[in-house]
Amino acid sequence: MKNKRIRKAVISAAGFGTRFLPTVKAYPKELLPILDKPNLQWVVEELIAADIDQIMIIHRPDSVEQKRYFTPDKKLEDYLKANNKSSYLGSLRAIWQKAELYFMPQDPKLPYGNACPALTAEKWLNKEPFVFLWGDDLLLEKKPGEFVKKLITIFNKYQAAIVAGVQEVPWEEINRYGSVKYTLNSKIPNQLEGVLEKLPADQAPSNMAQFGRFVVSPRVFETLNKQAAGKDNEIWFTDLVNHMAQNDIVIAETVENGQWLTTGDPLRWLRANIEYGLVDPTIQKELKEYLKSLKI
């Protein structure tokens, strides 16, 4: 496996998104828009920029909307061509040309939990290392894909079980996330001892929060297939991270040239839209003027 090119990624997009009800009664939360693209498309484009060309999207068993969105629609294409509007689907055509997208319902026999999409995709992964992402976590970078490439480089260098993305957050917000605890006196930079979930600031080991960017070795499945349900009777990826950290090499790498933006609730989804708008050359000027005019 040493220095083997990583070509596969699994995107977890099987949640219910209850904090966005009633909107997501009609479609998955991963299709909520960030400017002119669904959240999920930004994640797919990030992977393609990181030279990942086989992407598996794990969705709810009753959901077809994600596959429908990423599938070419001849009737729509013909309409756009006839009305000189073909450019509107340019970003989707780029995806179709550069990567193979696969769609798989989460195994209904599995309990709920954010590690279950990886279990569902195990056979498809065919014992290859892979990138694992949350479908509602965005990474706003000057060079999309740069951070995933960095995680892959570190993964290959240290032959790690898992390399996880982390970002510094304000201490007053660390109770919302998993707080990283680093291994003391390790010869491996940023080696992880564990992740402690949703602790208050005075108990959290750091204000470095784990988020949905991981590079994962296939050897984790020996543990994951035996992992018991944890809190709320769910199979948690953090529990896997903690087990591997005690028995293997797990590394937590910090984002330096980007910004992690979670979109898991309406307020943070709105913030993500603003952050993306502020760097979009077509609207940034007007958006900045509008925000200044609010005088809040």
Tell me the pLDDT of the chain averaged across its residues.
93
Which runs of consecutive H residues, i.e. helices, occur in the chain?
Answer: 39-49, 65-69, 74-82, 90-98, 116-120, 122-125, 146-158, 221-224, 237-247, 266-279, 284-294
The residue extents of the domains of the chain are: 8-264
User: What's the DSSP call for residue 284?
Assistant: H
The predicted model gives 177-199 an average pLDDT of 93
8-264: CATH number = 3.90.550.10
- Please state the pTM of the whole predicted model: 0.93
Whole-number Å distance between alpha carbons of 95 and 125: 20
- Please count the CA atoms within 13 angstroms of the CA of 205 that sit on its side-chain side: 15
pLDDT at 295 over 90: no
Angle at 185 between CA 152 and CA 162, to 5 degrees: 25
Q: CA-CA distance, 5 to 150, in Å (whole number)? A: 13
Quick: pLDDT tens for 216-273. Answer: 999 999 999 998 877 877 889 999 999 999 999 999 999 999 999 999 899 999 999 9
| pLDDT level of residue 63 (50, 70, 90 thresholds) | confident
